[in-house]
Amino acid sequence: MGRLSLIFLVAVLWPTECAVISTETLGPESCRDFGQGFERAFSIPGEVAILECPLQVHYLFNPAETPYSVTWYDERTGSEITALEQSVMLKKTQVWFFNVTMQQQGKYTCVVRTQSECYKQATGLVVTEMTSEDCERPQRGLQRISAHVNDLLVCPLRKYLKSVDSPSIQWYKNCELLQEDKKFVPNEDMLNIRKVHLDDAGFYTCKMTFRVAGVVREMAETIECEVKDEFLMKPQMIEPVNEIIKVERGSSFRKDCVVVVRGKGIPMVDVIWKVLLGSEEEFISQNTSHRVHQKPMNESRTTDGFLMVRTLSLSAVWEEDFYLNFTCMASSSRGQPSAQISLVPAGASQQYLNQYYFNTNILYQPVHLINMCIFISSETCHS
């Protein structure tokens, strides 16, 4: 602590002593300057505004092990912000303005000091009078939701929920308070919108009320909501369907993995073949000159969506390929359906196959059993 206050003393004395050569008033010149941060806080006179220190201290040092202090300076006056000022509070890495005024708009610098280092970065507070009659605020963030499905908006104030006492959030569309109905389900920091329609686009405001020193205060943010007329269903695996396939040793073999994605938009789906070798999963080579490889994925449009095909190819089936599980997987943000095939020698006995099926309790549904039965050996099925 003694060292820290010494640094601080130097910081205070420095400008006076070196007034001729330096106009630095924000602390020691050794402070590493990170310029101005990208984030700014937007507020309206009378509301609460919170400025967050833009320095990402965990990239600079380990905040759990290194003691550090945070101070703030008003760039216009160069003076340190203290909690002595009315309607200002310092809280960890934040400055709170309880009753923002137009005069408080400006640039503020956050200085973080450890015993041996000092860093600084500026951030801005933008205060604008409310002018719109529609209760929409002058500054707002954009959020996009998808038509035809249920979707949600997220209140940007959620990042402050942990810092305030007894917060509660209300949602508005334009000036109208939203209550739970067939369309909207406000759920704290989220607003669920059922079966999104193009008309649901517009301005939504979330207002957070909370207590500070026994007084109820509020903050709000407006979201400009855009509705995109695109939606994509979960990828669906058409082929394979957990099959056991009889092949002759030495013959060539190909199997298509077929995946459909219904809807409009850009499907971010990757279809790949892999194989389980012992306990290791390995991707099948994409080098088409390898004996066992997978072809490039072929994506095409259909009337109601997209079709993806990826072919597994064995130029010659070897003994070592039998009884392996070749799995095709479609990976996407909406799930990862997969299915597998297993190759068995053309002469494999029915006894083995039965054993194989009934050991694999959940994977093989009865309906598949029927299909596969026809596929594998029509005689056994008919008897």
Instruction: Name the site residues for ligand NAG (rule: CB under 6 A).
Output: 46, 99, 276, 287, 289-290, 298, 300, 323-325, 359-360, 363
* Minimum CB–partner distance for residue 103 and ligand NAG (Å): 10
Amino acid at 20: V
- Strands of the 88-91 sheet, one edge to the other: 49-52, 94-97, 88-91
Environment class of 27 (CB within 10 Å of its CB; exposed 0-12, middle 13-18, buried 19+): buried
Q: Which is nearer to ligand NAG, 187 or 350 (CB)?
A: 350
Q: Which is nearer to ligand NAG, 324 or 344 (CB)?
A: 324
* Minimum CB–partner distance for residue 360 and ligand NAG (Å): 4
Q: Which is nearer to ligand NAG, 251 or 298 (CB)?
A: 298
Q: What is the DSSP string of 122-150?
A: EEEEEE-----TTS--SSEEEEEEETTS-
Q: Which is nearer to ligand NAG, 35 or 214 (CB)?
A: 214
- Strands of the 270-277 sheet, one edge to the other: 243-247, 338-345, 325-331, 270-277, 280-283
CA angle (217 as vertex; 213, 219 as ends), nearest 5: 135
* Minimum CB–partner distance for residue 336 and ligand NAG (Å): 16
* Minimum CB–partner distance for residue 357 and ligand NAG (Å): 10
* Minimum CB–partner distance for residue 97 and ligand NAG (Å): 10
Q: How many other C-beta atoms can be found within 10 angstroms of the C-beta atom of residue 239? A: 14
* Minimum CB–partner distance for residue 47 and ligand NAG (Å): 9
* Minimum CB–partner distance for residue 167 and ligand NAG (Å): 17
* Minimum CB–partner distance for residue 333 and ligand NAG (Å): 24
Amino acid at 314: L
Asked if residues 118 and 83 have their Cβ atoms less than 8 Å apart, the reply is no
Q: Which is nearer to ligand NAG, 47 or 189 (CB)?
A: 47
Q: Where do we find the tokens 């998808």? A: 146
Q: Which is nearer to ligand NAG, 110 or 341 (CB)?
A: 341
Q: Which is nearer to ligand NAG, 120 or 310 (CB)?
A: 310
Q: Which is nearer to ligand NAG, 363 or 370 (CB)?
A: 363
- 219 to 128, 174, 207, 223: CA distances (angstroms): 14, 16, 6, 14
Buried/exposed 278-297: b ≥16 CB within 10 Å, e otherwise: eeeeeebeeeeeeebbbeeb
* Minimum CB–partner distance for residue 127 and ligand NAG (Å): 12
Q: 366 — alpha (psi -120 to 50), left (phi > 0) or beta?
A: alpha
User: How far is Cα 234 from Cα 375, in angstroms, rounded to an integer?
Assistant: 28
Q: What residues contact residue 258 under an 8 Å CB cut-off, 6+ apart? A: 237, 238, 239, 307, 308, 309
Closest by CA to 169, choosing from 216, 207, 224, is 207
Q: Which is nearer to ligand NAG, 96 or 184 (CB)?
A: 96
Q: Which is nearer to ligand NAG, 12 or 363 (CB)?
A: 363
The partner residues of 206 in beta bridges, in order of sequence, read 171, 221
Tokens, residue 79 = 């003076």
Q: Where do we find the tokens 């400008």? A: 15
